[in-house]
Amino acid sequence: MPTTDYRTRFRIAPGTRVRLRDHDPGYKDRHRSKKEAAPEIERYARRLRELQYLLYAEGRRSLLIVLQALDAGGKDGTIRHVLGYMNPQGCRVHAFKVPTPEEAAHDFLWRVHQAAPRIGEAAIFNRSHYEDVLVTRVHGLVSKSECKARYAHINAFERLLADRATVILKFFLHISAEEQLRRFRKRLDDPKRWWKLSEADFEERRYWDAYQEAYEDALSRCSTEHAPWFVIPADHKWFRNLAVSRIVVETLEALDMSFPPPKVDIEALRARWRELAGKERES
């Protein structure tokens, strides 16, 4: 059984060329089923909660999680899982939509920078600045050479955040074309999911190959030491959740964070407490 951590296993090593065909979206490691993996999923989720508490308490760095995927790729579900274990205080989600006129009147990183996590905070991006080298490229709104300039801007921008103690983890939730169809079908069959349906999702499917190619370029060009990309097998939702939370846990563990020292004299406060408790008993 390979013992390498998921941080290594699913990471795109900086400088390597990604071929998504070589990544199996249905991969589930040694696990046979969700049920069998449940204790492990629970363990990482709990550890995630402790580590986020520590990140917040320590107040020395921040965490940025970027989620990208094709439609029905599972971004919302991943956020529910990962965030479900975090303290809402100290954590925020930001969803990036089609730029507003105000946003479009600025450079493409302007709105992103404002959403970057504060010190001690964790931020999750549901879509991100990568849309500006993905959807825009697929639809011919930016050329290949403009994309190249944007990759450089993105790498420099992420470097800026990393230099200010932001830990950046970027996840591409990789699903197969068949799984996407199944999920669309499920949405059609379930009135509680109708709100999620958009004609655009079905239309975008026609550009499947163009998206795979755009993703391959973005992942290849922008996986860096300070802001690595991970390709997460996402056909199985439970494995996707396990892999993402495990990578976040492994990364935070490696930071060796510690609670800050008390701002007060604990012994003096203990004495003071005894005094107060004594008075309470006398009265």
Residues that bind ligand AMP (CB under 6 A): 96-99, 127, 131-132, 135-136, 200
237 binds, among ligand AMP, Mg ion, none (CB under 5 to 8 A by kind): none
Query: Is the separation of the CB atoms in 168 and 161 below 8 Å?
Result: yes
Which of 54-62, 63-71, 212-220, 262-270 is the region at the interface with Mg ion (rule: CB under 5 A)? 63-71
Closest-by-Cβ residue to ligand AMP is 131
Minimum gap (Å) between residue 178 Cβ and ligand AMP: 21
Which of 65-73, 108-116, 209-217, 261-269 is the region at the interface with Mg ion (rule: CB under 5 A)? 65-73
Measured from the CB atom, is 71 or 158 closer to Mg ion? 71
Minimum gap (Å) between residue 146 Cβ and Mg ion: 25
Separate counts of helices (H) and strands (E) for the chain: 12, 5
Minimum gap (Å) between residue 75 Cβ and Mg ion: 9
Binding mask 71-110 for Mg ion (x = CB under 5 A): x---------------------------------------
Measured from the CB atom, is 31 or 127 closer to ligand AMP? 127
Minimum gap (Å) between residue 122 Cβ and Mg ion: 23
The DSSP line for 70-125 is STTSSHHHHHHHHHHTS-STTEEEEE--SPPHHHHTS-TTHHHHHTSPPTT-EEEE
Measured from the CB atom, is 98 or 266 closer to ligand AMP? 98
121 binds, among ligand AMP, Mg ion, none (CB under 5 to 8 A by kind): none
Query: Is the separation of the CB atoms in 240 and 173 below 8 Å?
Result: yes
Sheet containing 91-95, strands listed edge to edge, beginning at the edge strand earlier in sequence:
91-95, 122-126, 62-69, 166-174, 229-233
Measured from the CB atom, is 71 or 216 closer to Mg ion? 71
Q: How far is CA 96 from CA 8, 100, 200, in A?
A: 28, 10, 16
Burial class, 244, CB count within 10 angstroms (exposed 0-12 / middle 13-18 / buried 19+): buried
Query: Is the separation of the CB atoms in 169 and 179 below 8 Å?
Result: no
Measured from the CB atom, is 73 or 233 closer to ligand AMP? 73
Measured from the CB atom, is 19 or 97 closer to ligand AMP? 97
The residues, ordered by sequence, that sit 6+ positions from 112 with a Cβ below 8 Å of its Cβ are 96, 125, 128, 129, 157
In SS3 terms, 219-271 reads as HHHHCCCCCCEEEEECCCHHHHHHHHHHHHHHHHHHCCCCCCCCCCCHHHHHH
Which of 68-76, 105-113, 150-158, 169-177 is the region at the interface with Mg ion (rule: CB under 5 A)? 68-76
Minimum gap (Å) between residue 42 Cβ and ligand AMP: 28
Measured from the CB atom, is 71 or 179 closer to Mg ion? 71
Minimum gap (Å) between residue 77 Cβ and ligand AMP: 13
Rounded to whole angstroms, the Cα distance separating 209 from 177 reads 10
Minimum gap (Å) between residue 263 Cβ and ligand AMP: 42
Rounded to whole angstroms, the Cα distance separating 25 from 173 reads 9
Which residue ranges make up the site for Mg ion (CB under 5 A)? 71
